[in-house]
Structure 1
Amino acid sequence: MGRGKKMTSIAMGDEQLLIGDTVSLRPPDDETPPYLARINDMGEDKGGATRVRVSWFYRPEEAHGGRKAFHGEKELFTSDHNDWVAADSIEHKVAIHTLKAYQALPQVGEADYFSRFLYKASTGEFKPDRVPVYCLCEMPYNPDLFMVECEGCSEWFHPECLQLTENQVSKMPHMICSECTRNKKHPKPKPGANPSGGGPPPSKKARK
């Protein structure tokens, strides 16, 4: 962008947009979901139009390899793809959390998202390239899927991978996986702690 005046904030209705804010940008048509980005710079071009330099967030289906079973509905990839765009394409602010902060939300709102991977758009590489896996299916954690902790080994499982339903699990006084049952492991005492604490938290659904 041919630079004119540098800016540190932009008024948008009752809000002020600042460098570092994460925002939703208007897509080209009604069939495309909003674009999501972080503002890295802002200013007027030589023609006097207000523009912002953004780094884009990719949805899993927009990246190399596509969406996988462990990708959450509200998951985004932080990317190294940057552009200057018109400031008037910004719709509103959004909140893009770390996975840990997203898990701690009491309620997931429409403007809440999370990111745990950096995506290098030019090469299709991801950082980190390894993440913890859970359950018999050895799948990374998906915060949209209910998981339960075995009180014998402290491993986490999807009920369906244990041939159980969520309702059946909720009625069990103690959750012991089949491996611990065979090895006659007993529930570990956890004084003052929630038996399901210490690993992936319960599922959270986005508010419609």
Structure 2
Amino acid sequence: MAKTRPGKKDMDPYTIRGTNKVVKAGDCVLMRPSDTSKPPYVARVEKIEQDNRNNVRVRVRWYYRPEESIGGRRQFHGAKELFLSDHFDVQSAHTIEGKCIVHSFKNYTKLENVGSEDYYCRFEYKAATGAFTPDRVAVYCKCEMPYNPDDLMVQCEGCKDWYHPGLCGHDY
């Protein structure tokens, strides 16, 4: 069993305020930003604790959106792409707006329908240095960019390589 600090007790699961949705350690959640014009933050719940005043707090590991990272959003980053960071934090459980699913990149590309609660992650991100793991992924097309699941790609029947339409020199 996980250790807790004096005056704290582990609490698992937790029901999101105003809903019947239950969150437990390991779940991914949407967290309300202080600036309501921004999209919700995405985090993975590591631990849920309640203190002796019944305040519920969650220890989370943050996901970063590409535009929140050093270097920013790049052409190959998909709209639903997130980076799992090494940034941990403790927040009030009342800031949880809902649950979401962060898929592996491979599983995300196999989804028949992508819902508003679906995201994907193919990189881990070190917030202090801006380093990514892995530091490279397969590239495609003549543009030599990693695959962006938001962009249409086709497989050439002749050479069997994948290309953005119109870039491989073949007519489709």
The normalised TM-score by structure 2 is 0.91
Matched residue, 1:6: 10
Q: Which 5+ residue runs of structure 2 have no aligned equivalent?
A: none
Aligned to 1:105: 111
Return 152-161 or 138-147, whichever deviates more.
152-161
Name the CA distance, whole Å, in 2 between partners of 1:29 and 1:79. Answer: 21
Of 38, 47, 72, the residue aligned with 1:41 is 47
The residue type equivalent to 1:129 in the other structure is D
* RMSD between aligned residues: 1.7
CA contact (8 A) 1:99 1:116 kept: yes
| Greater alpha carbon shift after TM alignment, 37-46 vs 126-135 | 37-46
Which structure has more helix as a fraction of its residues? 1
Residue-by-residue CA offset, 1:42-92 (whole Å, 9 max, x unaligned) = 111354310000000000000011000000000000111000000000000
Higher strand share: 2
* From 125, 129, 143, the counterpart of 1:119: 125
Partner of 1:183: none
1:133 counterpart residue number: 139
Whether the 8 Å CA contact 1:2–1:45 is kept in 2: the answer is: no
C-alpha distance in structure 2 between counterparts of 1:156 and 1:103, whole Å: 15
Larger Cα-atom Rg:
1
**1:157: Cα distance to partner?**
0.4
Distance 1:150 1:163, change over 3 A: closer
Gaps of 5+ in 1: 170-208
Instruction: Give the letter for the 2:12 counterpart.
Output: T
Please give the alpha-carbon distance, in whole angstroms, between the structure 2 residues aligned to 1:79 and 1:71: 16
Aligned length: 166
Aligned to 1:147: 153
Determine what percentage of the aligned residue pairs are the same residue.
Answer: 49
Once the two structures are TM-superposed, the CA of residue 163 in structure 1 deviates from its matched residue by 6.9
Q: How is 1:1-208 mapped onto 2 (pairs within 5 angstroms)?
A: 4-12=8-16, 13-162=19-168, 169=172
